[in-house]
Amino acid sequence: MRSWSIHAGRIFGIDLRIHISFLFLLAFVWMTDSAGLGTEAIGRGVAFTFLVLASVLLHEIGHRLAGMRQNRHARPVLLMPIGGVRIQEEPDREMPDPRAELGVAIAGPLINIFLAFVAAAILIGISPESSLVQRPLVFAGNLPRSFVWVNVFLAAINFLPAYPLDGGRVVRAILARRMDPVRATRRAVSIGQGFALAFILLGVWNTWLMMIGFFLFLAAQLEDRHAVFHAVLSQVRLEDVMLTDFSTLSPADTLEDALHKAVHTLQDDFPVVRGSDMVGVVSRQRIVDALRASGNGYVQSVMNRVFSAAQSGDSLASAFRKLTSHGVTLLPVVNSGRLVGIITLQNLMHSMSLLAEAKRLRNENGQSSP
Q: Which residues lie near Zn ion (CB under 5 A)?
A: 83, 108, 158, 166
Least separation in angstroms between residue 185's CB and Zn ion is 17
Least separation in angstroms between residue 12's CB and Zn ion is 14
Least separation in angstroms between residue 163's CB and Zn ion is 11
Decide if 301 contacts 253 (C-beta within 8 A): no
- Nearest to 81, CA basis, from 215, 203, 189, 192: 215
- Nearest to 140, CA basis, from 58, 47, 267: 47
Question: For 38, which DSSP code?
Answer: G
Decide if 167 contacts 160 (C-beta within 8 A): yes
Name the pairing type of β-strands 330-335 and 310-311: parallel
User: How many CB atoms neighbour CB 267 within 10 A?
Assistant: 21
Helices 255-263 and 284-294 meet at what angle, rounded to 10? 140
Least separation in angstroms between residue 169's CB and Zn ion is 8
User: How many CB atoms neighbour CB 278 within 10 A?
Assistant: 20
Between 76 and 83, CB nearer to Zn ion: 83
Between 158 and 267, CB nearer to Zn ion: 158
Decide if 29 contacts 45 (C-beta within 8 A): yes
Between 49 and 158, CB nearer to Zn ion: 158
Between 221 and 329, CB nearer to Zn ion: 221
Between 95 and 165, CB nearer to Zn ion: 165
Between 108 and 181, CB nearer to Zn ion: 108
Alpha-carbon span 100 to 166, nearest angstrom: 12
Report the DSSP beta bridge partners of residue 341.
Answer: 333
Least separation in angstroms between residue 246's CB and Zn ion is 47
User: How many CB atoms neighbour CB 75 within 10 A?
Assistant: 16
Between 16 and 290, CB nearer to Zn ion: 16
34 Cβ contact list (under 8 Å, min separation 6): 41, 45
Least separation in angstroms between residue 105's CB and Zn ion is 7
Least separation in angstroms between residue 154's CB and Zn ion is 8
Which residue of the chain is nearest Zn ion when measured via CB? 108
